[in-house]
Amino acid sequence: MTNPHESAPHDPAALHKRYRLERERRVRPDGAAQYRDADAEFGYYAADPYTEPAERAPLRDAVDVAVIGGGFGGILAGARLRQQGVERVRIVEKGGDFGGTWYWNRYPGVHCDIESHVYLPMLDETGYVPEWKYAPGEEIRRHAMRIARTFHLYEDALFSTGVTALTWDEAAETWIVATDRGDAFRATYVVTATGTLTDPKLPGIPGIEDFEGHTFHTSRWDYAYTGGTPRGGMTGLADKRVGIVGTGATGIQVIPMLAEDAAHLYVFQRTPSTVDVRANRRTTAGDVGADREGWARERRENYLRIVSGESADQDLVADAWTASAGLLEKLLPSFRRQGDREAFESAYEAADAAKMNELRSRVEDTVTDPETADKLKPWYRYACKRPTFSDLYYPAFNRGNVTLVDTADTHGIERVTAHGVVVDGTEYALDCLVFATGFNVGTSGIHSGKLPVHGRGGAQLLHTWARRGPRTLHGLTCNGFPNLMQMGPLQNASSVNFTHVLDEQAIHAAALVAAAEAEGACVEPPREAEDAWLATLAADAPDHEWFHAECTPGYYNREGRGRPNGPGGYPHGAVAFHRLLKEWRETSMGEALRPRTAPRV
Which residues contact ligand NDP (rule: CB under 6 A)? 26, 111-114, 197, 203, 205, 245-251, 268, 270-271, 386, 407, 412-413, 436-439, 554-555
Number of other residues whose CB lies within 10 A of the CB of residue 525? 24
Taking the complex as a whole, the smallest distance from the CB of residue 372 to ligand NDP amounts, in Å, to 17
Cα of first residue to Cα of last residue in the chain, in angstroms, is 55
Residue 546 backbone dihedrals phi, psi, to 5 degrees = -60, -30
Q: How far is the CB of 553 from ligand NDP (least distance, A)?
A: 6
CB of 263 to ligand NDP, least distance (A): 22
CB burial string 319-345: b at 16+ within 10 A, e below = bbbbbbbbbbbbbbebbbeeeeeeebe
CB 225 within 8 A of CB 236: yes
CA separation (Å) from 510 to 76, 150, 157, 519? Answer: 10, 17, 18, 14
DSSP state, residue 229: B
Q: Nearer Cβ to ligand NDP, position 179 or 194?
A: 194
List Cα–Cα distances, 87 to 83, 337, 468, in angstroms. 10, 47, 38
Cα 151 from Cα 243, distance rounded (Å): 43
Helix (H) or strand (E) holding 226: helix 223-226
Nearer to ligand NDP, 202 or 484 (CB): 202
In contact, 99 and 71? CB cutoff 8 Å: yes
CA distance 98 to 76: 11
Q: Work out how close the CB of 221 gets to ligand NDP at its nearest, in angstroms, rounded to a whole number.
A: 12
For ligand NDP, which is the closer residue by CB, 26 or 90? Answer: 26
Over its C-alpha atoms, the chain yields an Rg (Å, rounded) of 24
User: In whole angstroms, how close is the CB of 197 to ligand NDP at the nearest point?
Assistant: 5
Q: Which is nearer to ligand NDP, 431 or 559 (CB)?
A: 559
What contacts 531, CB < 8 A, 6 or more positions away? none
- Minimal distance in Å, beta carbon 47 to ligand NDP? 18
| Cβ-based nearer residue to ligand NDP, 206 or 526 | 206
Closest distance of CB 442 from ligand NDP, Å: 13
Rounded to a whole number of angstroms, the minimum distance from the CB of residue 376 to ligand NDP is 12
- The Cα–Cα gap between 359 and 274 comes to 7
Q: How far is the CB of 503 from ligand NDP (least distance, A)?
A: 16
Distance CA 3, CA 457 (A): 55
Q: Which amino acid is at 59?
A: L
